[in-house]
Amino acid sequence: MTKKKGPDTWQEITTGCVVFQPGSASEYHTGSWRAQRPVWNNQKCIKCGICYIFCPEGCIQQSEDGFFQANMDYCKGCGICAHECWPRAIAMTEEG
C-alpha cells in the first residue's frame, strides 16, 4: 500500500471532503496491485495505438520511436492492452 498522506482526525477532514490539490490521485501508485506485467514485442507491433486507447488507467505512452510502453507506477496489470492488441504484440508475464 502507498503510505497515507491525508488528514488523521475527523476535525482535520476538509468540509465536504473536498480535495484541493489537483491531480493528487497520481500520488497513488496503483502499480503495486500488479500481478502480471505487459511486455511489448516491437517486431510484431504495428504502432496502431489500440493499447494506448484501451488502457483504462491511461498509463500507456508512445515513445519517440513510435512504439508503446506502460508506466509501471500505475499499470495494474489488467491485461486489457494484451487482449485488444490484434497483432498479438503484447504478452502478459508474471511479476517477480
Partner 1 sequence: MAKRAGMEVAMAVAEAVGQCNIDMAAVYPITPQSHIAEHLSELIADGKVDAEFVTVESEHSAMSAVIGASGTGARVYTATSSQGLMLMHELLPIASAMRLPIVMGIANRAVSGPLNILNDHSDIMPQRDSGWISIFVENGQEAIDLSIQAFKIAEHKDVLLPVCINIDGFQLTHMVEPVEFPEQELVDKFLPPREPYATLHPGKPVTMGAFAMSDYYPEMMKAKNEAIKNSKKTILAVWEEWAKIFGRAYKPVETYKAEGAEILLLTMGSMGETAEVAIDELRAQGKSVGLVKLRLWRPFPFEELKEAVKEAKKLIVIDRAVSFGGPGGPVFSEIKSALYHEEARPMICNYIIGLGGRDVAVTDFTGMITRVLREDSKKIADTCEFWGVRER
11 touches partner 1 by CB under 8 A? yes
Write down the least CB distance from residue 15 to partner 1, Å: 5
DSSP SS3 for 24: helix
Nearest C-alpha neighbor of 65 from the set 77, 85, 47: 47
Reading phi first (left if > 0) and then psi (alpha if -120 to 50, else beta), residue 73 is in: alpha
Contact with partner 1 (CB under 8 A) among 2, 3, 5, 20: 20
The grid coordinates of residue 84 equal: 485488444
Return the number of the residue (18 or 58) whose C-beta is nearest partner 1: 18
Residue numbers of the site for partner 1 (CB under 8 A)?
4, 6-7, 9-11, 13, 15-20, 22-25
